[in-house]
Amino acid sequence: MYSSFVPPRQVKIGDAAAFAGTTPRAIRHYHEIGLLPEPVRGGDDRRRYGYEDMIRLLWIRKMADAGVALDDIRDADTASAGAGSEDGIAGILERLEETLLAREAELRRQRTAVRRMRTEGSRMGLLSDFVTSRLKSLPEGSLRQADLDTLLVTERIFGPLGAAVQATRFIALATHPDLREDSDRVDAAEEALDDSIAVDDPRVARVAAERHAFEEALQAVIEDSGLAASDDALFDSWDALHPATADEAGQESMSVFEATGKMPYDFSPARLRCMELAEELAARGQSSA
């Protein structure tokens, strides 16, 4: 005996929502974000949903109920566009798995960073392990936020090895109060070379000489304290951990030159000239040594 029931070829949005276990408002949202294509419309200009529309809607509901974000479903589906119905679903699920695995890895990195920040008690925990391990022996609070800011920029441009080597400077300053005091004095003198100072003002050359003298004193402390020898060990350690052909993640997309050019510093012409003069004094000292 044949049933007299004839299934509808298309249904309205209310019926589609009821069957899928959702609401018309949710379905409209799927349309708005590009997750569910707009269906054909009837003579009354209302949406009509066919078999393929309902299959897609049911899969969306299943994935959403499983905790998959709507944006992830949409992005994964876009990556699988062009495949058949069955292959398309498989592609979506495969892409979703890749997305979720990547997100899990990112969440693990974030949790690790937060734990490190809590352990270190400062933003030092956001620097790479290679840099952080170089600073662990310092007394709590001996590093300034400005020191960490500088290391953050250096790590972005030159990588962890460059920042770990630069950390030697801050170790010396943190463990030699007199040297830190001299550093603050020279830094203040350089900052005073603002836009009101001409590049040929005698103060520019004087501050450059002070900077050169300070850097020589700092280097002497680094040599005498054995920090220079530990710097050599840093290179050996880095080579052991990183093959020569491997680049630190994120560094390959931007050269040192490009990265340096994208980091702004509000230096006046007088201060830039002071830096040039200090470099010239250092070069002369090296050539006469």
pLDDT value of residue 93 = 63
pLDDT value of residue 2 = 47
pLDDT value of residue 125 = 66
pLDDT value of residue 249 = 42
**Residue 85, C-beta contacts closer than 8 angstroms, at least 6 positions apart:** 52, 55
pLDDT value of residue 5 = 62
pLDDT value of residue 242 = 65
What SS3 class is residue 268?
Answer: coil
Token reading at 92: 């979506």
Number of helices (H) and strands (E), helices first, in the chain? Answer: 12, 0
Answer whether 212's CB lies under 8 Å from 282's CB.
yes
Mean pLDDT by 10 residues, the chain (289 residues): 66 88 91 88 83 84 78 69 49 67 73 60 70 84 85 85 90 94 96 96 97 95 87 77 51 61 82 94 78
Q: Per DSSP, what are the bridge partners of residue 11?
A: 49
Q: What's phi and psi for 41, nearest 5 deg?
A: -115, 145
Residue type, 49: Y
Global pTM value: 0.56
pLDDT value of residue 8 = 82
Query: How many CB atoms sit inside 10 A of residue 288's CB?
Result: 6
> 135: buried, middle or exposed (CB in 10 Å: 19+, 13-18, 0-12)?
buried
pLDDT value of residue 119 = 55
pLDDT value of residue 179 = 95
Answer whether 125's CB lies under 8 Å from 116's CB.
yes
